[in-house]
Amino acid sequence: MDNNNNHVKLNSFNCSFQLSGEYWEEVTLDDFYFENALEVYKKKEFFNQKKIELNEGKTKILPLIYNKGEGLMVWQRIKQDKGFETELVLFINKSFVLSVPLIHDAVTIVKMLWNFDPIKVKIIPSNIATQTGYCFELAGWKKIIDKAETVPVYRCTY
């Protein structure tokens, strides 16, 4: 499947597929480069794994990697009362690529997998490498007001 530089790679031996886009590539949580990059970021003071659960058994997880660890994203598909919701729970960009095209490319991949789910991000500074969420506004996301939340929340509008 080829659509705007997005591909689904088929493995003929076990019929699994791997999503990729212009920048991002789907990996598993135990991928060598993903684990190594995550370990480096865990050692940084801004990262607090207690605020993020990377547990594939509890929810559906979509880990993405850019350029062998220069960028990491983890999306979780969470069951809600009214269906499912997809949330970006980890975003680190240490590359020279601006965050906006990385966000657009990742949303394209997420929509290929979970097409009708609402997509949101909570700006938790320890897990989302932006203090204000401005890159999400530039990417066309809308800030939503939720009095139950203590951090800014953005919802994808496309």
Residue with tokens 């938790």: 124
Answer yes or no: is 11 within a domain: no
Answer yes or no: is 1 within a domain: no
Answer yes or no: is 14 within a domain: no
Answer yes or no: is 94 within a domain: yes
**Angle at Cα 99 formed by Cα 97 and Cα 105, nearest 5°?**
90
- Structurally, the chain folds into a number of domains equal to 1
Decide if 58 contacts 24 (C-beta within 8 A). no
CATH code of the domain containing 127: 3.40.630.30
pTM for this prediction: 0.79
The rounded percent of the chain whose pLDDT value lies above 90 is 33
Tens-digit pLDDT profile for residues 77-117:
988 888 888 999 888 888 999 999 999 999 999 999 898 88
Quote the distance between the C-alpha of residue 140 and its chain's center.
16
Answer yes or no: is 105 within a domain: yes
Answer yes or no: is 9 within a domain: no
Answer yes or no: is 38 within a domain: yes
Q: Taking Cα atoms as reference points, which of 115, 89, 86, 93 lies closest to residue 41?
A: 93
Answer yes or no: is 6 within a domain: no
How many CB atoms lie under 10 A from the CB of residue 139?
Answer: 21
User: Low-confidence residues of the chain, pLDDT below 50?
Assistant: 1-3, 8-15, 45-46, 48-51
